[in-house]
Amino acid sequence: MEASEARGFGDGSNLKKRPVISVIIPAYNAAETLGGCLAALLDQSTPRGEYEVIVVDDGSTDRTREVAKKYDVHLLSQPNQGPGAARNLGVNQARGEIILFTDADCVPTKEWIEEMIKPFAEPGVVAVKGAYRTRQRALLARFIQAEFEERYALLERERYVDFVDSHSAAYRKTGFLAAGGFDPGFLLSEDVDLSYKLSRLGHKMVFNPQAIVYHRHPETLWAYFRAKFQRAYWRTKSYRQHPDKMLKDSYTPQALKVQIGLLFLLGLMIPGWLLFEGKRSEFLWGMAVVGLLFLFTTLPFAVGVAKQDRLVGLLSPFFLLLRAMALGLGFATRFVRQLVEGLRPDGSERS
């Protein structure tokens, strides 16, 4: 059997008409969700002969490999090294000139591949970002989707963006490799690091909100807090390498940074209130002012969301407070670790 047939290219009759596309899914203990992802990827509006699907098993201990083998995909394996390393392995084995990424817990729409590759018709475009949607009705999941919609509104204002996250992403293979691919030293936010590197190199990246994958967002406060903490922890490493992005990128609302700053200010006031008994009333007033300022910064988001979902809008200030706490704690934890550990003898930062 020809290699193209074995890897899902049929007789290869379409390969000369357009670039071969490689879709790569890193999977770690993803047996419960991988089947839905692969079924959707194998039922695309793009003809099957024009794309391959590669699953990279990242050292799973469940039935991930068995699930992948049920589908017409190319299966790779590696010891557990994280999603960045898994995606890099997939790219090294990919035949496509255009590389697409999604996650094992995502379900792409039927037009996902078609929409992901459309922007590459513009010369110079190196990367494309797609969008998350969800079918969940849980309260927290609705809030999280509203968060994404706020960020998508920011992206749609820009012709070119500086952020492509890997749940729905596409790259020209040449540009991806020239930038060094994903840094395996990141266990999370490796896509942020790559985006910032591509931006620094002057490459064009665009957002296509019609390139949609469906996802299950966290539904418990603890899961949400933990996810935000971890992302902030690893993004701090990116900011160390790309400090200009701390001030502004095309994806992060500026109000979010103000909210984190206000919480840090509040955190500085609390010890003063506890230690200086004679000044407690002044500290208390200061803390009240900071609290009111924080609430004020949440109102534009809350009012906007309330127009579509009244209950989520009403509870948004609380959720935004939880978000700022998780992100602030993640940033602070990473920053303190960097101060304590410093650099290795060879000059590289510890993970």
Q: What is the mean pLDDT of residues 184-205?
A: 91
Same domain, 265 and 213: no
Q: What's CA 304's distance to the chain center, in Å?
A: 23
Considering the entire predicted model, what is its pTM? 0.86
Residue 141 belongs to a domain: yes
336 and 212 both lie in a single domain = no
In a domain, 136, yes or no: yes
How far apart, in whole angstroms, are the C-alpha atoms of residue 165 and residue 169?
A: 6
Q: Is position 48 within any domain?
A: yes
- The beta-strand segments (E) located in the chain are 21-27, 51-58, 74-78, 98-102, 106-108, 125-133, 168-172, 204-215
Residues 107 and 197 in one domain: yes
Domain that holds residue 294: 254-341
Query: Which pLDDT score is estimated for 343?
Result: 53
Residue 286 in any domain: the answer is yes
| Average pLDDT of the segment spanning 10-39 | 77
CATH code at 110? 3.90.550.10
- Residue 251 has what pLDDT? 86
What's residue 4's pLDDT?
A: 30
pLDDT at 166 over 70: yes
Separation CA 98–CA 91 (nearest Å): 10
Using a pLDDT cut of 70, give the percent of the chain over it.
91
Q: The tokens of 186 are what?
A: 């990141």
What is the structure's pLDDT at 340?
A: 77
Based on the domain organization, do 155 and 36 belong to the same domain? yes
Q: Are 219 and 137 in contact (CB under 8 A)?
A: no
Is residue 60 assigned to a domain?
yes
Q: Same domain for 67 and 214?
A: yes
* pLDDT value of position 116: 96
pLDDT single digits (tens) 97-127: 999 999 999 999 999 999 999 999 999 999 9
Q: How many CA atoms lie within 13 A of 230 on its CB side?
A: 11
pLDDT digits (tens, 9 = 90+) for 289-329: 999 999 999 999 999 999 999 999 999 999 999 999 999 99
| C-alpha closest to that of 122 among 54, 15, 9, 205 | 205
The pLDDT assigned to 285 comes to 87
Q: Are 53 and 21 in contact (CB under 8 A)?
A: no
Single-letter amino acid, residue 10: G
User: Could you read off the pLDDT of 219-256 as tens digits, one per residue?
Assistant: 999 999 999 999 999 888 888 888 888 888 888 899 99
Let me know whether 200 and 260 are in one domain: no
Judging by beta carbons within 10 Å of its beta carbon (0-12, 13-18, 19+), is residue 195 exposed, middle or buried? Answer: buried
The per-residue pLDDT for 9 is 25
| Count of structural domains within the chain | 2
pLDDT for position 290? 92
Residues 91 and 19 in one domain: yes
Q: What number is the average pLDDT over the span 79-90?
A: 95
